[in-house]
């Protein structure tokens, strides 16, 4: 049973649209992360948060933005989607260093 939820699972949208990918966790984890993953490829960290009102950019430059107003919620927003944003986006949270990440099921985004 997943403790971290991502919606939607699949999304097809037109170029120029604004979208928000939702991520919520019920475990009370302070640390949350967004990864971008192209099919069959490695994961790249695009955003992370250490807690409420904390957000940082990851290793891979991304045109998306994130917010962390509540501990359990870490949404990712694209103001103007482009075909180059087509990818899978994975959200994760973590209790502490030795615990590993808990991942959501991902959102597969296609921009046409």
Partner 1 sequence: AQSVTQLDSQVPVFEEAPVELRCNYSSSVSVYLFWYVQYPNQGLQLLLKYTSAATLVKGINGFEAEFNKSQTSFHLRKPSVHISDTAEYFCAVSDRDKAAGNKLTFGGGTRVLVKP
Q: Which lies closer to partner 1 via its Cβ, residue 16 or residue 99?
A: 99
What character string, x for contact with partner 1 (CB under 8 A) and - otherwise, covers 2-21? ----x---------------
The answer to whether the CB of 27 falls within 8 A of the CB of 95 is yes
- Residues β-bridged to residue 94: 31, 101
| 96 Cβ contact partners less than 8 Å away, ≥ 6 residues apart | none
Site string for partner 1, 30-69 (x = CB under 8 A): -x-x------xxxx-x--x-x-----x-x-----------
């Amino acid at each position: 049973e997943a403790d971290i939820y991502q919606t939607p699972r699949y999304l097809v949208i037109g170029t120029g649209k604004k979208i928000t990918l939702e991520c919520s966790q019920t475990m009370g984890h302070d640390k949350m992360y967004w990864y971008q993953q192209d099919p069959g490829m490695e994961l790249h960290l695009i955003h992370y948060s250490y807690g409420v009102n904390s957000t940082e950019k990851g290793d891979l430059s991304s045109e998306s933005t994130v917010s962390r107003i509540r501990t359990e919620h870490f949404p990712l927003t694209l103001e103007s989607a482009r075909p180059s944003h087509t990818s899978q986006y994975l959200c994760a949270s973590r209790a502490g260093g030795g615990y590993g990440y808990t991942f959501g099921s991902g959102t597969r985004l296609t921009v046409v």
